[in-house]
C-alpha cells in the first residue's frame, strides 16, 4: 500500500493559501500548514499585520484539522530581500521585492525547511500558477538525482519542469515566480492554477473559511504597509535633492528629494503643476530627473532594452537561442502588463565570451516601441 503523500503548504493568513490547503486535503494528502514571518512588525510600530495574519493562518489549520508551524525568516528577509531592495534603489533601479522574496525565502528557505525538517514530499502555495507536472510526477521528483559535477553538457537531454500561466489570466502570478529555481519548481504544487479567483472565494465560503474571505486582499510590500513610500524609503537612504527638468526645453519645473525615488515612465508629482509629467531619464551625477508631458510622448518609449545575467527557469537557454543567437518570444516587465512580442538576442557581458546561458540579452520589439523600462 502506498504511503500517504505529505505536502507542506505555505499559509499567509489569506483566502488563497487557505483554499490551497483545503484542496490538498481533499486530494487525500497529509497536509501541514506553515506560516512564515518575514518582517519584524515591532520595528515598525505594529504597522505590518504579521501577528494577525499568523492567527488567521492558525485558525485555518484548526478548521482543516491539520498541523500548524510558524517559522521566522526575518534575518534572511532583511539580508536577501530588503537589503537588495535598498541597494537597487540606490543604483537608480526599481526592484520587485516580491520576486526576490519568492526566490530566496518561499522557494528556498521555506522549501528546504519543509523538505529537510518536516519531511515533505512536496510543497504548495496559494499562487495562481501551474507547472508542466501532475501531482504524482511532483512526488516522483525526490527520486530524480541532480546531475553531478561543476560542468554539465549543454546538449544533455533533461526534462525541465515548465512554469505555466494560470487559468485565471487576470490573477496569474507567474511574473512573481520568474526567478524560482528548477529544483524548487520540481517539488511544488499550485492547487489554484486551474481556478478563477471567484471560484476560490466560493470554495472558501462553503467551507467555513469566512474569516479569511472577509479580509482585504494584500497589496504591495508588507514592510511598507499604508505609509507613504517616499517617506519610508528616505528613512533608510540619504536624501539627494535635485530638480525636475523638462526634456523638451530644459526648463526647471520643480524640486525633489532624490532621483532614485523615481522609476522611468512613472508620473512625477511636481508641486504647483496641474498637468501630469512623466519620468524619462535620471542623472545620477547631478541628481536631476528629466520629465515629459503626456503618456504618449516619444521620449518615454524604447524599442530596445538590455538585461544583465539571465535566469532561465529550465536552467539552460532555449535551443533556438543557442543555435541562432536570437529567438522570437514575449515579455513583460510588470505584473498584469499585456505581453509584448519581441526578439531576444544573445548579448555579451564585458570580460566574458558571448553566451546566452551566462550573459546578457537584448530585447527588440518589432511591432513598434515598448514603454521604457529601467530594467536589469
Residues whose CB falls within 8 Å of the CB of residue 270, separated by 6 or more in sequence, listed in order: 244, 253, 254, 277, 291
φ, ψ of residue 349 to 5 degrees: the values are -95, 135
Distance (Å, rounded) from C-alpha 45 to C-alpha 167?
Answer: 39
Catalytic residue among 222, 329, 342, 362: 222
Q: Is 373 helix (H, G, I), strand (E, B) or coil?
A: coil
362 as an active site residue: the answer is no
Catalytic residue among 9, 48, 61, 101: 101
222 as an active site residue: the answer is yes
Angle at 339 between CA 303 and CA 19, to 5 degrees: 150
- Kindly list the distances between the CA atom of residue 71 and the CA atoms of 11, 12, 105, 125, in Å, as whole numbers in the listed order: 11, 12, 11, 15
Nearest to 213 by CA among 50, 19, 11, 9: 19
Strand pairing report for 326-331 and 277-282: unpaired
Check if the beta carbon of residue 100 is closer than 8 Å to that of residue 179: yes
Could you list the active site residues? 101, 222
Amino acid at each position: 500500500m502506498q504511503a500517504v503523500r505529505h505536502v507542506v503548504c505555505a499559509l499567509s493568513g489569506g483566502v488563497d493559501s487557505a483554499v490551497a490547503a483545503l484542496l490538498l486535503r481533499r486530494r487525500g494528502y497529509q497536509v501541514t500548514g506553515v506560516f512564515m514571518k518575514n518582517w519584524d512588525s515591532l520595528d515598525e510600530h505594529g504597522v505590518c499585520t504579521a501577528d494577525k495574519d499568523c492567527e488567521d493562518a492558525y485558525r485555518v489549520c484548526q478548521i482543516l484539522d491539520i498541523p500548524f508551524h510558524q517559522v521566522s525568516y526575518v534575518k534572511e528577509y532583511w539580508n536577501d530581500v530588503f537589503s537588495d531592495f535598498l541597494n537597487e534603489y540606490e543604483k537608480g533601479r526599481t526592484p520587485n521585492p516580491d520576486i526576490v522574496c519568492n526566490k530566496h525565502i518561499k522557494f528556498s528557505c521555506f522549501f528546504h525547511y519543509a523538505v529537510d525538517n518536516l519531511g515533505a514530499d512536496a510543497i504548495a502555495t496559494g499562487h495562481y500558477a501551474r507547472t508542466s507536472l501532475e501531482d504524482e510526477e511532483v512526488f516522483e521528483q525526490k527520486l530524480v538525482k541532480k546531475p553531478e559535477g561543476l560542468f554539465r553538457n549543454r546538449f544533455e537531454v533533461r526534462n525541465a519542469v515548465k512554469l505555466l500561466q494560470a487559468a485565471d489570466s487576470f490573477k496569474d502570478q507567474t511574473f512573481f515566480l520568474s526567478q524560482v529555481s528548477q529544483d524548487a519548481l520540481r517539488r511544488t504544487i499550485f492547487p489554484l492554477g486551474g481556478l478563477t479567483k471567484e471560484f476560490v472565494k466560493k470554495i472558501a465560503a462553503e467551507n467555513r473559511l469566512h474569516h479569511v474571505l472577509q479580509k482585504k486582499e494584500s497589496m504591495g510590500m508588507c514592510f511598507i504597509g499604508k505609509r507613504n513610500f517616499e517617506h519610508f524609503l528616505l528613512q533608510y537612504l540619504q536624501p539627494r535633492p535635485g530638480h525636475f527638468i523638462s526634456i523638451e526645453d530644459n526648463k526647471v519645473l520643480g524640486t525633489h528629494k532624490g532621483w532614485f525615488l523615481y522609476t522611468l515612465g512613472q508620473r512625477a508629482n511636481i508641486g504647483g503643476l496641474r498637468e501630469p509629467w512623466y519620468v524619462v531619464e535620471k542623472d545620477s551625477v547631478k541628481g536631476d530627473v528629466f520629465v515629459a508631458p503626456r503618456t504618449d510622448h516619444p521620449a518615454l518609449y524604447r524599442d530596445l532594452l538590455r538585461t544583465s545575467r539571465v535566469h532561465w527557469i529550465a536552467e539552460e537557454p532555449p535551443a533556438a537561442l543557442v543555435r541562432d543567437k536570437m529567438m522570437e518570444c514575449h515579455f513583460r516587465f510588470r505584473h498584469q502588463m499585456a505581453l509584448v512580442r519581441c526578439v531576444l538576442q544573445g548579448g555579451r557581458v564585458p570580460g566574458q565570451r558571448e553566451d546566452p546561458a551566462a550573459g546578457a540579452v537584448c530585447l527588440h520589439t518589432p511591432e513598434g516601441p515598448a514603454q521604457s523600462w529601467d530594467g536589469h
